[in-house]
């Protein structure tokens, strides 16, 4: 893989750069071209201290996690930017995982009605998924990501050298979204993952880069076809929600504390694959193969809440759902997904009792 591959997409107006050990240079380059740069930084990321001595560059550090995607997180950051005289010629760079990217994207799209922003995703999950596509937002007590906008970053820098400090748990959580991309669209990618998952989880550079690239191309396919999730067919961006209907309900049930997003959607994917099998869409052999791969890669596959009635209540709060009908993006074989299957909540409850 090239060291400085860049994917430019006119339709999306986002450029994706792949460069190792490049974050400091990236910030300096942006500072050269703009009046003022606000770097919003996850406290776990260490950057060159000289950056903070530059007049043009202001660094705001935030301790990250799901809790920053909240009214308080939004208020604190946007008011800090306004207090520090952000203006339309300023730009924002978010350097952190998916929670920071989601919060900063929302802030950038609303403060002064929109400030240009750049993303440097620093978790595997954010490099393969959340940094691409322009969705952002915060959570409410009624569910995840219920307040947000579509707002594309100008550039995304994928720098895999920053992943070395991640825990194994975080790497596995990110891997879950990679497997999701393979399961919904690319059988041969899934076969390749079966061969290479262990190397990937051990951060083998070549394997990692290839997997991130493949994953992003699958995500881009849906985002380019259906940026605002309006299509009603198999190219809909909704296909990326495989595992997320159940996954989001699990996260919300536990107040975003027990599971990381990637863990909740791992359980979600296995459960939704089981539902696909129960409905006669996915063969038992494919289901078994998926479960085997999840187990081998250390991905979670079950939680006791699946049989709890409260989970069904949470499902009806998902923004994709209406009254008692729950929408699922399911799979009919490995590498092939099906646009929203509508299921009644009582039927889901029954299915979940029998899985
Ligand atoms: N916008 C989208 O399209 C989209 C897609 C998928 C997921 N998401 C969202 O992404 C969020 C999850 O993202 P996440 O898993 O990156 O969570 P996160 O941002 O909470 O990061 C996980 C943890 O890793 C730490 N961290 C970040 N970079 C690190 C590094 N390089 N080394 C060590 N520690 C580091 C963080 O401080 C945090 O504790 C969820 O809120 C989910 O809803 C959004
Ligand atoms: Zn996700």
Q: Could you give all domains of the chain from N- to C-terminal order, each with its CATH number? A: 6-165 (3.40.50.1970), 168-354 (1.20.1090.10)
Q: What are the catalytic residues?
A: 113, 135, 177, 219, 229, 237, 241, 244, 248, 261
**Chain mean position to CA 342:** 24
Instruction: Write the Ramachandran bin of 34: left for phi over 0, alpha for psi from -120 to 50, otherwise beta.
Output: beta
Q: What is the pLDDT of residue 355?
A: 81
The SS3 call for residue 61 is strand
Q: What is the pLDDT of residue 136?
A: 98
Residue-wise DSSP of 82-151: HHTT--TTEEEEEEESHHHHHHHHHHHHHGGG--EEEEEE-SHHIIIIITSS-B--EEETTEEEEE--B-
Report how far ligand 2's centroid is from the alpha carbon of 326 (Å). 18
Using the predicted structure, report yes or no on whether residue 105 has a pLDDT greater than 70: yes
Using the predicted structure, report yes or no on whether residue 256 has a pLDDT greater than 80: yes
| Pocket-testing residue among 99, 103, 147, 176, ligand 1, by greatest number of atoms within 8 A of Cβ | 99
Q: Is the CB of 116 under 6 A from ligand 1?
A: no
Q: What is the pLDDT of residue 212?
A: 97
299: Cβ contacts below 8 Å, ≥ 6 apart: 172, 175, 176, 179, 263, 266
Q: For residue 321, what are its two tokens? A: 């759902």
Q: What is the pLDDT of residue 51?
A: 85
72: Cβ contacts below 8 Å, ≥ 6 apart: none
Q: What is the pLDDT of residue 4?
A: 62
Give burial (CB, 10 Å; 0-12/13-18/19+) of 121: buried
Q: What is the pLDDT of residue 340?
A: 76
Q: For residue 172, what are its two tokens? A: 């596995």
Choice among 100-114, 117-131, 187-201, 322-336 with the minimum mean pLDDT: 322-336
* Mean pLDDT confidence for 83-97: 97
Report how far ligand 2's centroid is from the alpha carbon of 212 (Å). 15
pLDDT digit string (tens) for 240-250? 999 999 999 99
Give the residue with greater pLDDT, 230 vs 189.
189
CA nearest 47: which of 31, 33, 66, 70? 31
Q: What is the pLDDT of residue 2?
A: 52
Using the predicted structure, report yes or no on whether residue 278 has a pLDDT greater than 80: yes
Using the predicted structure, report yes or no on whether residue 59 has a pLDDT greater than 70: yes
Q: What is the pLDDT of residue 188?
A: 98
Report how far ligand 2's centroid is from the alpha carbon of 216 (Å). 13
φ, ψ at 104 (rounded to 5°): -65, -35
pLDDT category at 143 given cuts 50, 70, 90 is confident
User: How many C-beta atoms lie closer than 10 Å to residue 111's C-beta?
Assistant: 21
* Mean pLDDT confidence for 292-316: 94
State pTM to two decimals: 0.95
* Mean pLDDT confidence for 27-37: 96
Inter-helix orientation angle 261-278/284-296, to 10°: 160
Give the residue with greater pLDDT, 254 vs 5.
254
pLDDT category at 9 given cuts 50, 70, 90 is confident
Q: What is the pLDDT of residue 11?
A: 78
Q: What is the pLDDT of residue 3?
A: 57
Q: Is the CB of 122 under 6 A from ligand 1?
A: yes
Using the predicted structure, report yes or no on whether residue 125 has a pLDDT greater than 70: yes
């Amino acid at each position: 893989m090239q060291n400085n591959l860049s994917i430019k997409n006119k339709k999306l107006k986002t450029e994706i750069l792949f460069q190792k050990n490049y974050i400091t240079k990236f910030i300096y380059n942006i500072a050269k071209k703009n009046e003022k740069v606000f770097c919003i930084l996850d406290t776990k990321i260490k950057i060159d201290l000289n950056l903070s001595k530059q007049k043009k560059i202001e660094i705001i550090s935030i301790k990250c996690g799901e809790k920053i995607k909240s009214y308080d997180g939004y208020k604190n950051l946007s008011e800090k930017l306004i207090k520090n005289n952000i203006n339309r010629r300023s730009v924002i760079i978010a350097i952190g995982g998916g929670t920071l990217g989601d919060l900063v994207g929302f802030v950038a799209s609303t403060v002064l009605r929109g400030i240009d922003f750049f993303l440097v995703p620093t978790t595997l999950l954010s490099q393969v998924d959340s940094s691409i596509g322009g969705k952002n937002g915060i959570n409410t007590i009624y569910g995840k990501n219920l307040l947000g906008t579509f707002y594309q970053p100008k550039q995304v820098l994928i720098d895999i050298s920053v992943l070395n400090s991640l825990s194994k748990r975080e790497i596995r959580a990110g891997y879950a979204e990679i497997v999701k991309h393979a399961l919904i669209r690319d059988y041969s990618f899934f076969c390749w993952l079966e061969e290479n998952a262990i190397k990937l989880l051990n951060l083998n550079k070549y394997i990692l880069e290839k997997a991130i690239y493949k994953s992003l191309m699958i995500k881009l396919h849906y985002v380019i076809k259906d940026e605002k999730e309006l299509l009603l067919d198999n190219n809909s961006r909704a296909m990326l929600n495989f595992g997320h209907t159940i996954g989001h309900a699990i996260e919300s049930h536990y107040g975003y504390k027990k599971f990381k997003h990637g863990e909740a959607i791992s359980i979600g994917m296995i459960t939704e694959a089981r539902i696909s099998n129960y409905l006669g869409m996915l063969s038992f052999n494919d289901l078994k193969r998926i479960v085997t791969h999840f187990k081998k890669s250390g991905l979670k596959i079950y939680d006791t809440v699946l049989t709890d009635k409260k989970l069904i209540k949470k499902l009806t709060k998902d923004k994709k759902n209406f009254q008692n009908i729950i929408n699922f993006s399911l799979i009919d074989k490995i590498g092939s997904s099906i646009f929203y299957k509508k299921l009644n909540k009582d039927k889901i409850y029954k299915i979940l009792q029998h899985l």
